[in-house]
Amino acid sequence: MKKRVSVETVNEVNKFVADTVRELSAKYNVKKPLVVIGRFGCQYVPYEEGRLCVSNRFYPFWEIDKEKAKKVVKWSVAHEFGHHLQYLRGALPSLFDIHLMFNPKLESEANELAESYTNVPASEYSAIVDELSKIMKKEYVKKLPELEATEV
Ligand SMILES: [Zn+2]
């Protein structure tokens, strides 16, 4: 029988993501983006106040290994927050030019922000995501909880 994540986990992860977004917004003294936790994974949507999206895989990750999960959640939020800063300074292409969105310069800038904020190198982030994803696929049901655009 495959597992479902508990309500307690959902609440803890939502709070951890919200706290991280608030801390980064205060640190950089900018308006907070809305937060989305869902199946479309980690990405930033440059629209209105901004949508900072992280993967709902982080819910099972949290139950598998909380310390490792905290590292990757923080890292992902910081990376997407890097795109939020780019959006606010007008460096991101508009939503309608989404095909232009992948830009190695903007990506490496977001990675640098994540690495310096968490002290976790990108290689360690990827290794943890791979490790916990394998366990998640074996042990958890496919359908995971989601959080729609929320003010934090
Ligand atoms: Zn990115």
Q: What is the pLDDT of residue 102?
A: 78
Q: What is the pLDDT of residue 69?
A: 98
| d(CA 60, ligand 1 centre) in Å | 22
Answer yes or no: is 2 within a domain. Answer: no
User: CB under 8 Å to 129, separation ≥6 — which residues?
Assistant: 57, 72
Q: Is residue 133 part of a domain?
A: yes
Residue 100: the pLDDT is 67
| Beta-carbon-side half-sphere exposure of residue 28 (alpha carbons within 13 Å) | 20
How many domains are contained in the chain? Answer: 1
Task: Look at residue 96 in the predicted model and tell me its pLDDT.
Answer: 74
**Domain residues for 32?**
7-150
Q: Is residue 116 part of a domain?
A: yes
Q: What is the per-residue pLDDT across 20-64, written as a single tens digit (0 to 9) for each? A: 999 999 999 999 999 999 999 999 999 899 999 999 999 999 999
- The whole-chain average pLDDT of the chain stands at 95
- Ligand 1 centroid to 83 CA: how many Å? 7
**Which pLDDT tens digit goes with each residue over 109-136?**
999 999 999 999 999 999 999 999 999 9
Assigned domain for 61 exists: yes
Cβ-contact 120, 71 below 8 angstroms: yes
Residue type, 132: L
Distance of CA 2 from the midpoint of ligand 1 (Å): 32
Residue 112 lies in a domain: yes
Instruction: Report yes or no on 68 lying in a domain.
Output: yes
Tell whether 23 is covered by a domain. Answer: yes
Q: Is the pLDDT of residue 81 over 90?
A: yes
**Distance from the alpha carbon of residue 129 to the mean position of ligand 1, in angstroms:** 15
Q: Which of 38, 8, 51, 9 lies closest to 144, judged by CA?
A: 38
